Amino acid sequence: MRRSGIKELLVATNLDREVLVKGWVRTRRGNKYVQFIALNDGSTIHNLQVVASAELFPEENLKDVATGASVAVRGTLVASQGKGQTVEIQALEITVLGKADPEEYPLQKKGHSLEFLREIAHLRPRTNTFGAVLRVRHALAFAVHEYFNKNGFYYVHTPIITGSDAEGAGQMFRVTTLAPEHPPRTADGSVDFSEDFFGKPTNLTVSGQLEGEIAAMALGKIYTFGPTFRAENSNTARHLAEFWMIEPEMAFYELEDNMDLAEDFLKSLVRYALAHCADDLQFLNDQYDKELLVRLNSVVETEFQRLTYTEAVEILKTAKQKFEFPVGWGTDLQSEHERYLVEKHFKKPVILTDYPKEVKSFYMKLNEDGRTVRAMDVLFPGIGEIIGGSQREEDYTKLITRMAEMHVPAEDLWWYLDLRKFGTAPHSGFGLGFERLVLFVTGMANIRDVIPFPRYPKNAAF
Ligand code: ATP
Ligand code: MG
Ligand code: MG
Ligand code: MG
């Protein structure tokens, strides 16, 4: 008999037929006449109720049908009288496939703290919370590809091992070979970590942007979507050492076009999640964040507020709120400033543009004032910066000058400069941190809870 998925059975209309389901037991409860087993197979947040009558299944025969065990159930799919469910299964045969000793299995009925669940990353996907988060994460990743594919962007794979530091921020992890002849040994025989990728120093990428620009200057509109790494020795709820970044890059786009794309893209992703993850989002809304659905719906409908960094600094200077870090023209904004603008002042997403050149990367296009660059950061409620982007400097001479000012070695980036030598054109792009998007859409509070295997200081066990 073919196994049915629980998600499809829960909405089935052809009842009173025999079905076979397999899944993990969430709970078993009941009395001496009947036992109710809540079964979940990961396809949906909802459990399927299995009814086991004492005539067929005396309770002592069900002792291994315990929380966490995997079982196969053959039975009749019938209409249910139970609250919140339209169907259930009257069991005819129950086979335990894999036991879970109640004395040892950590995910018993009681709720666990998210901190505790981080310590058991191998089991937490079995909880309702992580099941929901992982399904939403999947849907968003799919929506990213669908959006770009529909809009004529090509997906380009940029390297993970790279010789360049795209951000010039020195937040890179070094790559070291441990092949027999590499890295060289020091005189005392220990590994010499100053040598790395077969003699050439290389890093794990912090961004696919520079390579993405190569592709955009050939294919027109491209995007990357891959893992990026930053040696962030910070313990914030918004930073990971390994995160996924989505980076579109477009030839012939100026800053305005870039902002329009970013706004449309974000709205379309949120809309996709609302349409395709209704049950999981409802669960997360009820469980963690009663404002979640209201916030998601409002982002989709609201026009984002656009203003310059200079205007934002004026607003922040006159704000009633006391900030931990003082604001003044020329300093980078902290998350507390970004969130004030979004959550208190404008009460909607904000796109800030034209930052002082000193706080942004060398590749951003210089404005005519000579002091600011065509940067744009998209700021979201509860998150702060969700996107960082810019129009890129397309002028060879200006780019060389900016690189010198910011101590970026031109000889390492000769290929990047070549793009300005041969057929240069205005172009723009941005980076969306995928986990920050998942954080926003799920309403979770900590970025460590929206990626299956979070990497943060002192945590990369498996
Ligand atoms: P922040 O100011 O929050 O540290 P950033 O300005 O250093 O971010 P960018 O270099 O602009 O980050 O990267 C583009 C996007 O990648 C950011 O807008 C954010 O969404 C995401 N991002 C950056 N660093 C991290 C990180 N350590 N963990 C998760 N996402 C990140
Ligand atoms: Mg940063
Ligand atoms: Mg930033
Ligand atoms: Mg940024």
Who contacts 270 (Cβ-Cβ below 8 Å, separation ≥6)? 296, 299, 300, 440, 441
pTM, two decimals, is: 0.95
Can you give the pLDDT at residue 461? Answer: 62
Q: State the CB neighbour count (10 A cutoff) for residue 73.
A: 23
Residues of the chain with pLDDT > 70, as a percent, come to: 95
Q: State the CB neighbour count (10 A cutoff) for residue 361.
A: 21
Can you give the pLDDT at residue 192? Answer: 65
Average model confidence (pLDDT) for the chain?
Answer: 94
**What confidence tens digit (pLDDT) does each residue in 308-354 have?**
999 999 999 999 999 999 999 999 999 999 999 999 999 999 999 99
DSSP lists the bridge partners of residue 79 as 87
Any idea which ligand is nearest the CA of 385? 1
Residue with tokens 């036992």: 35
Name the pLDDT band for 13 (thresholds 50, 70, 90): very high
For a pocket test of ligand 1, which of 205, 242, 243, 377 has the largest count of ligand atoms closer than 8 A to its C-beta? 243
Whether ligand 1 lies within 6 angstroms of the CB of 385 is answered as yes
Can you give the pLDDT at residue 190? Answer: 75
Whether ligand 1 lies within 6 angstroms of the CB of 57 is answered as no
3-state secondary structure the chain: CCECCHHHHCCCCCCCEEEEEEEEEEEEEECCCEEEEEEECCCCCCCEEEEEECCCCCHHHHCCCCCCCEEEEEEEEEECCCCCCCEEEEEEEEEEEECCCCCCCCCCCCCCCHHHHHHCCCCHHHCHHHHHHHHHHHHHHHHHHHHHHHCCCEECCCCCEECCCCCCCCCCCECCCCCCCCCCECCCCCECCCCCECCECCEECCCCHHHHHHHHHHHCEEEEEEEEECCCCCCCCCCCCEEEEEEEEEECCCHHHHHHHHHHHHHHHHHHHHHHCHHHHHHHHHHCCCCHHHHHHHHHHCCCEEEEHHHHHHHHHCCCCCCCCCCCCCCCCCHHHHHHHHHHHHCCCEEEEEEEHHHCCCCECECCCCCEEEEEEEEECCCEEEEEEEEECCCHHHHHHHHHHCCCCHHHHHHHHHHHHCCCCCEEEEEEEHHHHHHHHHCCCCHHHCCCCCCECCECCC
Whether ligand 1 lies within 6 angstroms of the CB of 386 is answered as yes
Nearest residue (CA) to ligand 1, atom 30: 433
Can you give the pLDDT at residue 171? Answer: 85
Q: Are 214 and 247 in contact (CB under 8 A)?
A: no
Between the CA of 247 and the centroid of ligand 3 the distance, in Å, is 15
Nearest residue (CA) to ligand 1, atom 29: 239
**The token pair that represents 74 in the structure block:** 């053959």
Q: Is the pLDDT of residue 18 over 80?
A: yes
Q: Which of 153-157, 175-179, 282-286, 402-406 has the lowest mean pLDDT?
A: 175-179
**What confidence tens digit (pLDDT) does each residue in 192-222 have?**
666 566 667 788 999 999 999 999 999 999 9
* Interface predicted TM-score (ipTM) of this complex, two decimals: 0.99
Any idea which ligand is nearest the CA of 231? 1
**What confidence tens digit (pLDDT) does each residue in 27-71 have?**
999 999 999 999 999 999 999 999 999 999 999 999 999 999 999
Name the pLDDT band for 186 (thresholds 50, 70, 90): confident
Name the pLDDT band for 168 (thresholds 50, 70, 90): low
Cα 307 to Cα 317: distance, rounded to the nearest angstrom: 15
Residue with tokens 């498996």: 462
Q: Which residue has the higher pLDDT, 229 or 165?
A: 229
Q: Are 177 and 183 in contact (CB under 8 A)?
A: yes
Can you give the pLDDT at residue 233? Answer: 79
For a pocket test of ligand 1, which of 165, 173, 224, 238 has the largest count of ligand atoms closer than 8 A to its C-beta? 238
Q: Is the pLDDT of residue 173 over 70?
A: yes
For a pocket test of ligand 1, which of 233, 239, 360 has the largest count of ligand atoms closer than 8 A to its C-beta? 239
Nearest residue (CA) to ligand 1, atom 19: 433
Nearest residue (CA) to ligand 1, atom 18: 387
State the average pLDDT over residues 266-290: 98
Name the pLDDT band for 300 (thresholds 50, 70, 90): very high
Whether ligand 1 lies within 6 angstroms of the CB of 230 is answered as yes
